[in-house]
């Protein structure tokens, strides 16, 4: 199977709202539903699991029922960090009897503009190479912050990647990685790709993302950008 594992376990402090950002409604649809709809509509996705903020599981299931997210099969409790939330989801899939060679697409629940192409290419590259990471080549001049100043990074920007999600691996690979991380005391990694890198994996194949998929709803201005993108269509004259 191809399974989307969506992370929705955060409280969203940076958004500064009264409810977690993944459950905020934009144009009467919760953010997490927009994200789930992208995987619900993809023909190669067989199932969806969501790692959910504790206490919001019933709300999530109710929204899924309301918006006909029929591929939602599992809801697991989130952890106290992104790494722990992903681990909880993986353990849940293992205990639910998922196969070791099932393909797991780990995706941010508040990154709702993931395109069908990106999902498809993640599955294809993971099946071919064993790893797939979504990202964009940097077009900005990237510098390093040191105290209140910035200093140069001696790496050409063409070699720097801004990672997005999904990050895609077989279930067995992810389970082994988290077990190794626990044994080595590796904690607090911000994403599956960085966890793999800390464990020495250096051949995670790149899937080109998009500026739209780069939008992760973290701050209030991201909501404004999402609404603008949601209501914009490509001009016919653009190739």
- pLDDT tens, residue by residue, 193-207: 999 999 999 999 999
The arithmetic mean of pLDDT across residues 160-173, rounded, is 97
The least confident of 9-18, 133-142, 158-167 is 9-18
Measured CA to CA, the distance from residue 95 to residue 115 in angstroms comes to: 30
Mention every residue, 6+ apart, whose C-beta is less than 8 A from residue 151. 143, 144
For residue 165, pLDDT beyond 80: yes
Distance of CA 152 to the CA centre of its chain: 30
pLDDT band at 91 (very low <50, low <70, confident <90, very high): very high
Q: Shortest CA distance to 166 belongs to which of 224, 210, 222?
A: 210
Q: How confident is the model at residue 183 (pLDDT cuts 50, 70, 90)?
A: very high
Phi, psi (degrees; rounded to nearest 5) at 155: -135, 125
Mean pLDDT for the chain? 94
What confidence score (pLDDT) does residue 11 get? 78
Are the CB atoms for 143 and 153 separated by under 8 Å? yes
CATH number of this structure's domain 2-230: 3.90.550.10
Backbone angles phi and psi of 32, in degrees to 5: -60, -30
Task: Tell me the C-alpha distance between 139 and 134, whole Å.
Answer: 16
Residues 105, 99: Cα–Cα separation, whole Å:
14
The pTM assigned to this predicted structure is 0.95
Q: What is the pLDDT of residues 4-50, one digit of tens each?
A: 999 998 877 777 788 899 999 999 999 999 999 999 999 999 999 99
């Amino acid at each position: 199977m191809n399974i989307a594992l969506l992370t929705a376990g955060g409280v969203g402090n940076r958004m500064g709202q009264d409810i977690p950002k993944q459950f905020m409604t934009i144009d009467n649809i919760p953010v997490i539903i927009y994200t789930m709809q992208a995987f619900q509509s993809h023909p190669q996705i067989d199932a969806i699991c969501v790692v959910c903020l504790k206490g919001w599981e019933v709300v999530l299931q109710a929204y899924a029922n309301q918006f006909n997210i029929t591929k939602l099969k599992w809801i697991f409790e989130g952890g106290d960090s992104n790494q722990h939330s992903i681990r909880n989801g993986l353990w849940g899939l293992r205990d639910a009897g998922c196969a070791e060679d099932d393909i797991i697409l780990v995706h941010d629940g508040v990154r709702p503009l993931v395109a069908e192409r990106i999902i498809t290419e993640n599955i294809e590259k993971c099946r071919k190479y064993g790893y797939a990471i979504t990202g964009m080549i940097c077009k900005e001049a990237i510098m390093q912050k040191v105290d209140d100043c910035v200093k140069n990074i001696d790496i050409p920007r063409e070699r720097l990647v801004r990672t997005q999600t999904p990050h895609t691996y077989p279930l067995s690979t992810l389970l082994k990685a988290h077990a190794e991380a626990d044994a080595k005391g590796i904690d607090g990694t911000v994403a599956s790709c960085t966890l793999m890198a800390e464990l020495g994996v250096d051949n995670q194949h790149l899937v080109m993302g998009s500026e739209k998929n780069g939008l992760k709803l973290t701050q209030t201005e991201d909501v404004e950008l999402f609404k603008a993108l949601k209501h914009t269509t490509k001009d016919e004259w653009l190739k």
